[in-house]
Chains A and B, each alone.
Chain A
Amino acid sequence: GDSVTQMEGPVTLSEEACLTINCTYTATGYPSLFWYVQYPGEGLQLLLKATKADDKGSNKGFEATYRKETTSFHLEKGSVQVSDSAVYFCALADNDMRFGAGTRLTVKP
């Protein structure tokens, strides 16, 4: 069945460092791919999405490109801020929704 595998955390970075959180997927169809974020004390919210191969989703300085050839959707940001500290979930939607295990990011000043 469909599944999502994302980089295990926790990840700790200094402010202004580069971030990459790896995400790979397996799917029988042509899923849409998402990154959701859960800030401390808040509910999950959509960060960005891509609905077809080679699409790039972007929001708040974060980017992820839908790579069909490598079945990946890695999350990247060139310069993280303390306010980016959160748990990040990669997800795919095909016949249903599948989420990765989440990666906790802590950004230190």
Chain B
Amino acid sequence: GAGVSQSPSNKVTEKGKDVELRCDPISGHTALYWYRQSLGQGLEFLIYFQGNSAPDKSGLPSDRFSAERTGGSVSTLTIQRTQQEDSAVYLCASSLGSGTTNEQYFGPGTRLTVT
């Protein structure tokens, strides 16, 4: 079946502009995660959605970052007033549930470049 998809695959934007990144999780997966992968860095947790519960936003680096998940499915990560340090690959993952043993399935990522 279809895996996690993300769009766009690449995004180049000017400093100060807003961007929206989209994630389509695997159908039926209730948990959805956003991560950021900077060059030479590991995966930095950003935000986590589980079903209809309030999201865990503890990883968002600043108030310029926000995310929503509509209808328990598609999620959008928005970065306002982008800065050059926001340049990274943004990864989305989904899993069947929030249990610690559940495997996360990752999308291919969106490479964001802020010029």
List the B side residues contacting A49 at CB < 8 Å: 101, 103
Number of residues on chain A facing chain B (CB within 8 A) = 23
A99 touches B106 (CB 8 A): no
Q: Does A89 contact B (CB under 8 A)?
A: yes
A-side interface mostly: strand
- Residue among A4, A91, A96, A101 having the largest count of chain B Cβ atoms under 10 Å: A96
List the B residue with the shortest CB-CB distance to A42. Answer: B108
B41 touches A97 (CB 8 A): no
Query: In whole Å, how far is B9's beta carbon from the nearest beta carbon of chain A?
Result: 11
Complex alpha-carbon distance, A4 and B91, angstroms = 19
Query: In whole Å, how far is A35's beta carbon from the nearest beta carbon of chain B?
Result: 12
List the B side residues contacting A98 at CB < 8 Å: 45
A44 touches B42 (CB 8 A): no
B106 touches A45 (CB 8 A): yes
Interface size classification for chain B: 20 to 34
- Name the contact of A32 in the complex, choosing from B3, B100, B105 (C-beta under 8 A): B100
Q: Does B25 contact A (CB under 8 A)?
A: no
Q: Does B48 contact A (CB under 8 A)?
A: yes
A94 touches B100 (CB 8 A): yes
- Name the contact of A31 in the complex, choosing from B40, B100, B109 (C-beta under 8 A): B100
* In the A-B complex, the 5 residue pairs with the closest CB atoms: A101-B42, A99-B43, A93-B100, A44-B106, A43-B106
4 more A-B residue pairs beyond the given contacts A44-B91, A89-B42, with a C-beta to C-beta distance below 8 A: A32-B100, A36-B106, A93-B102, A100-B42
